[in-house]
Homo-oligomer: A and B are copies of this chain.
Amino acid sequence: MGKKYVYLFSEGDASMRELLGGKGANLAEMTALGMPVPQGFTITTEACTQYYEDGERISEEVREQVLAFVTKLEEITGKKFGDPKNPLLVSVRSGARASMPGMMDTILNLGLNETVVESFAEKTGNPRFAYDSYRRFIQMYSDVVMEVGKSYFEKLIDEMKAARGVSLDTELTADDLKELAAQFKEEYRQKTKKDFPTDPVEQLFGAIEAVFRSWNNERAIYYRLMNDIPSSWGTAVNVQSMVFGNMGDTSGTGVAFSRNPSTGEKGLFGEYLMNAQGEDVVAGVRTPQPIADLREQNPAVYEEFAGIVDVLEKHYRDMQDMEFTIEDGKLYMLQTRNGKRTAAAAVKIACDLVDEGMIDKKAAVSMIDPKSLDALLHPQFDPAALAGATPIGRGLPASPGAATGQVVFSAEEATNQTKKLGRHVILVRLETSPEDIEGMHYAQGILTARGGMTSHAAVVARGMGTCCVSGLGDISFSEDETSFTLGGKVYKEGDFISLDGSTGNVYGEEIRTVPASIGGDFERLMAWADEFRVLRVRANADTPTDARQARKFGAEGIGLCRTEHMFFEPDRISAIREMIVSDTPGQRWEALSKILPMQRGDFENLFEAMEGRPVTIRLLDPPLHEFLPSTKEEIEALAESMGIPAEQLRAKIDSLHEFNPMMGHRGARLDVTYPEIGEMQTRAIIEAAIAVQKAHPEWQVVPEIMVPLIGSYHELVFVKDIIDRTAGALIKDSGVALDYKVGTMIEIPRAALRADMIAEDADFFSFGTNDLTQMVFGFSRDDAGSFLPAYYKNSIYENDPFQKLDRRGVGKLIKQAIESARETKPDIKLGVCGEHGGDPVSIQFFYEIGIEYVSCSPYRVPIARLAAAQASLA
């Protein structure tokens, strides 16, 4: 016998989620718990996978099994498909392992046709109900299976209501509905050039195939991409005998949660409609009643339902989201699942369940989606204010949170208008550059036309916790950049716009926001997480402000301080530029000696802020041309201020031009060509550490100096030698017993391949997974936007490798590097400081392969703490 592709509800249970999908597994579980569930069967996710393997057709094997189970269902229900006397009617619903919007929803009343509906009307003595069910079926089938949109049918209903002079669907008579059903079938014929299928078996397979197809529609693919769901999972199909909420006033249908999904408040929460079916509750045609009304309307059913809810919540040990139908006074359960909830509700429910003794702390920590915490850490739109707003565009959700404010077009204006006018501003730019940092700090939100999730704007905004939408290509700026057009409307400086950095939506109006709120439950949960966590969490922080924010969120150290971000302040950039245009080491030293005291001051503040916790400082990383202007005007202005001919400056800038800056003269390569840069930075770090150590003997200040972009052992030896010579002399002179570490980023494939040798001279490795991902994939994150969408569409890649670490390529290389480094030096400290350090799925992997700490932007620290705890518990 071959594979079993179909299961009765009575054959499964909740543990069979992978095979039966969430919905099917829970229907089986409720059946097993003896709850009133209309019976049916589930076609497995493997049948879906098989469907795609067979070139998008249902194989004979699957078809035969389905037909056999139709027969079984006929036996169970005592009804028969297409039997006018006692017809079996079913609903068909998709049900993947994880709930997925975008998938085909529901077809109800399948099995009806012209003959059946007539006798059905007769048998139930309720022709209105029968024809209402029939027209609903035609409508849903047309929409879902044949993609003939609902609107065509809504239009016919509206015309009928107008003709009859009524306003509610329920006011249409049985004859009206019968006529509508006929019109619907005609509409179907015109749109599809086919007759509406009358054979219930043909109807059934049409519906099953539509479910399978919907697994690969664009919305589903996008959703999977966003939520790390592999396309190989497939979806199951649930075929369930119908019960009818539209059988009259003693019938109805509803949805309910066992707790409030917005606030987490305990107690039944939901709504229902009498004499209604399926979507009516949420469709808004009629206004549903709150679930509490049912207690008065039908106390027995209410009590039965409340009892079931209680059993289900205790059984699943989580807040439940349920669908039910009352058929002629009898309650049926159609679905239960763990309810979706806001982050705030999730945290409260988890804590409450612990307090109620239903779950332990481990379960509480495990049940929260770490990514959802983002919403607690940033301002959000007031849901009431958002309700009426329509987006004018959608960019990339580059940094979460919501922001509203008045448009400015330059970083200077962002600063000015905030400081002088007290305005809340949104900075709108083609793209941002390091010189915009101050203005970015003042802006409530940042919107850019160019750049991806890891563009400058995105990275900096995430670090600051500022909302950012990037890469909104539809925006077009006026030539003088004093206005932009979006969604057909022109926006000028001072106009209000709002950004949702969690979705990428942009709104052309002011929308009230509510501030971030991390209350007591949040702190309780994080404390539990820390109990179970082994992986340490540090923050990427470039300034004392970042560092303090990171501490507030529980960072245990700084895993990456990008020193170049300190170079862009106006008083520093000029010294940096002086250094760059220097022709001799002497000139370079002169310029560097101006920077030295500033950097030393920065580092002192950083060490102070971290109070003796580890601080990893990376030596200068970007190519030098990033510090120089590119336009003619800027070059001339700079040349004048530097007192050199513009020609000379331009020549210097030209000589620094690179074809592929990502793979150019940067990182450790700067220290090899200009050892004085590394020497100055070491001096600043060590002098600052000595000063802070002297001032705070109670701390142990251990600076970790990190060399970026190392590709070979001898390269690290060369740079480490500069560091050791400089640091050694300073420490000796200071009389303070300062310890320091020298390590390297592993971000070049060769460094990973030579990890055994490089480990000889490194106290620690920090995997720079951003660059490593770029080099291993051979594409630059700045340029990949032009082709990656085609890769997702064709399922070549299922995830953005810059968001979620590629285990099989990049991860394999990292694992290999760890193993060979530990052979050389078993106690080498191993961390990660790329963007992946804040991604829960990647954190799980890092934990598995023996990484000791991750470092992420301050606002990701709580997420990383929770994810790290979950990794330990998994």
Measured CB to CB, the residues of A under 8 A from B are: 656, 658-665, 669, 672-673, 709, 711-712, 714-715, 718, 747-750, 753-754, 757, 771, 774-780, 782-784, 786-787, 790-791, 794-797, 806, 808-810, 812-813
Q: A665's contact among B673, B771, B786, by CB below 8 Å, is which?
A: B786
CB contacts (< 8 Å) of A808 on chain B: these are: 753-754, 757
Cross-chain contact A797 with B709 (CB below 8 angstroms): no
Given A672-B791, A712-B796, A714-B797, are A779 and B663 neighbors across the interface (CB < 8 Å)?
A: yes
Q: A783's contact among B658, B749, B783, B784, by CB below 8 Å, is which?
A: B658
Q: A750's contact among B663, B672, B784, B809, by CB below 8 Å, is which?
A: B809
A658 to chain B: closest CB distance in Å? 4
Cross-chain contact A783 with B664 (CB below 8 angstroms): yes
Cross-chain contact A712 with B797 (CB below 8 angstroms): yes
Please provide the 8 A-B residue pairs with the shortest distance between their CB atoms, ordered closest to farther.
Answer: A748-B778, A663-B780, A660-B780, A750-B809, A664-B783, A659-B782, A714-B796, A660-B660
A9 to chain B: closest CB distance in Å? 36
CB contacts (< 8 Å) of A796 on chain B: these are: 672, 712, 714-715, 718
Q: Report how far A808 CA is from B749 CA in the complex, Å.
A: 12
10 more A-B residue pairs beyond the given contacts A669-B787, A711-B809, A775-B776, with a C-beta to C-beta distance below 8 A: A659-B661, A659-B780, A672-B791, A709-B778, A712-B796, A715-B796, A749-B809, A750-B778, A753-B808, A771-B778
Instruction: Report which residue of A709, A790, A812 has the largest number of chain B beta carbons within 10 angstroms of its beta carbon.
Output: A790
Cross-chain contact A753 with B787 (CB below 8 angstroms): no
CB contacts (< 8 Å) of A787 on chain B: these are: 665, 669, 672-673
Q: Report how far A688 CA is from B715 CA in the complex, Å.
A: 51
Cross-chain contact A794 with B663 (CB below 8 angstroms): no
Q: A776's contact among B750, B783, B809, by CB below 8 Å, is which?
A: B750
Cross-chain contact B750 with A790 (CB below 8 angstroms): no
CB contacts (< 8 Å) of A663 on chain B: these are: 660, 662-663, 774, 778-780, 783
Cross-chain contact A753 with B660 (CB below 8 angstroms): no
Cross-chain contact B753 with A812 (CB below 8 angstroms): yes
Kindly report which residue of chain B lies nearest to residue A797, judged by CB atoms.
B712
Q: Report how far A779 CA is from B784 CA in the complex, Å.
A: 18
Given A672-B796, A787-B673, A809-B753, are A780 and B718 neighbors across the interface (CB < 8 Å)?
A: no
Q: Report how far A531 CA is from B659 CA in the complex, Å.
A: 45
Q: Report how far A718 CA is from B793 CA in the complex, Å.
A: 12
CB contacts (< 8 Å) of A658 on chain B: these are: 780, 782-783, 786
Kindly report which residue of chain B lies nearest to residue A773, judged by CB atoms.
B750
Kindly report which residue of chain B lies nearest to residue A785, judged by CB atoms.
B665
Show 23 residue pairs from A and B whose CB-CB distance is below 8 angstroms, ordered by the A residue.
Answer: A656-B786, A658-B780, A658-B782, A658-B783, A660-B660, A660-B662, A660-B663, A660-B780, A662-B663, A669-B779, A672-B790, A673-B787, A711-B809, A712-B796, A712-B797, A715-B791, A749-B749, A750-B810, A753-B776, A754-B808, A754-B809, A757-B808, A771-B778
